[in-house]
Amino acid sequence: MNFAHLVVQRLDALAQISEDEGGLTRSFASPAMRRVNDLVGSWMRDAGMSVCTDAIGNLIGHYPAATPAGKILLLGSHLDTVRDAGKFDGPLGVLVALACVQFLNETKTRLPFAIEVIGFADEEGVRYQSTYLGSRALAGTFNCEDLKRTDARGVTMAEALREFGGTPDAIAAARMDASRLLGYVEVHIEQGPVLEQKNLAVGVVSAITGQTRARIAFVGEAGHAGTVPMNLRRDSLCAAAEFVLAIEELAKDRSGLVATVGEITAMPGAGNVIPGQTKLSLDVRHPDDVTRSQTCDELKLRADEIAAGRSVIMNWETVHESAAVVCERRLALLLENATKCHQGEAPLLASGAGHDAAAMAAICPVAMLFVRCKGGVSHNPAEFASEADIGVAIEVMNDFVKSLAKSK
């Protein structure tokens, strides 16, 4: 069977499941995620796996070991997307893992360890601005206070999860037993240009950068656009605009730092009304956790200064923090050796993007394999990985699994 072609066909099928017309969007606990879980779950069963959905909505397929005492190797990625997404980010890792298990099943192969393929319920954090919900539940680091968060329609996370069929009160019990885990390995598009520049299909991840996400609000006073003099205005949007430029200026001055404002909302949102409140998102990333933390402190101080200078109030809420993670050397070396068998060279790449592997590192060793993506484009409908490169990734993962079995 041409497993790479099968993965491409399945990626196309999943890309048709969206909560938006004319674009691909799947957010946490949405009907679109239910449909995706159902479809991927059916493919897992066809590959000889037992399937369940846990308390937070993670889809988990289990392929048993040769003996009941065998430990568990976790493979997978996430099935949610950003807004107006490409079809590779997340699902590629789930489907490559599934292809590896399907190969084992068709060749009637059992390993000294079980394999569980996980389709995480939320990595992107689109709906509740709190990433890694699915992987943090499995890692036992889920913050139950997050269940009180509300989405843009005022629906709490707990309410959304119950409607989805999840069990908010049982999330703590979803934590995996670390003593039974060999590790977690994730295949993902690179989301960068290095592999394309090197003309290589895949590369091995060395580390994942740390990140902080915050929600910031500037609260001023709404007023009539035609009657309030400029020197008496408490314009929240002007404060936010000044802060956005301050973020850009600081990030450009600090090597290795990236900072992004991806959302901004001015209220009440009328053309003839001075904005009384403006909310924005902030995403800060750096390979060094101390630098990232210090940068966030500086930005918070700058936001306070801007607010004071414009007679508005600033509110800052940190909604997500994840430390930088170094991939486990033994697993990474097995991936390197497998990669060299198929392309001669195994480049080591640092990931500037966050991944479920960062959360899973709290309970087990983690490793990642990157797949070349055209132009380094990601979080965009134009993201693309070729069938040939996907085929290389599948072969590397098959060899990785074999080598891990031999080393047991």
Distance CA 102, CA 109 (A): 10
Mean of pLDDT over the chain: 96
Which CATH class name applies to 3-208+324-407? alpha beta
Task: Tell me if the pTM is above 0.75.
Answer: yes
Residues in the chain: 408
pLDDT at residue 285 tops 80: yes
pLDDT at 256: 85
Q: Where in the chain is the domain with CATH 3.40.630.10?
A: 3-208+324-407
Contact assessment for residue 239 and residue 358, using Cβ atoms and an 8 Å cutoff: no
Q: Where in the chain is the domain with CATH 3.30.70.360?
A: 211-322
Closest alpha carbon to 19 in 38, 7, 35: 35
Q: What is the pLDDT of residues 105-158, one digit of tens each?
A: 999 999 999 999 999 999 999 999 888 999 999 999 999 999 999 998 999 999
Fold of 211-322: Alpha-Beta Plaits (3.30.70)
What average pLDDT does range 14-29 have in this prediction? 96
Q: What is the pLDDT of residues 161-188, one digit of tens each?
A: 999 999 999 999 999 999 999 999 999 9
3-state helix/strand/coil string of 25-71: CCCCCCHHHHHHHHHHHHHHHHCCCEEEECCCCCEEEEECCCCCCCC
Give the model's confidence band at 69: pLDDT under 50 very low, under 70 low, under 90 confident, else very high.
confident
Contact assessment for residue 172 and residue 357, using Cβ atoms and an 8 Å cutoff: no
Distance CA 167, CA 11 (A): 29
Closest alpha carbon to 79 in 150, 30, 45: 30
pLDDT at 128: 92
Contact assessment for residue 360 and residue 66, using Cβ atoms and an 8 Å cutoff: no
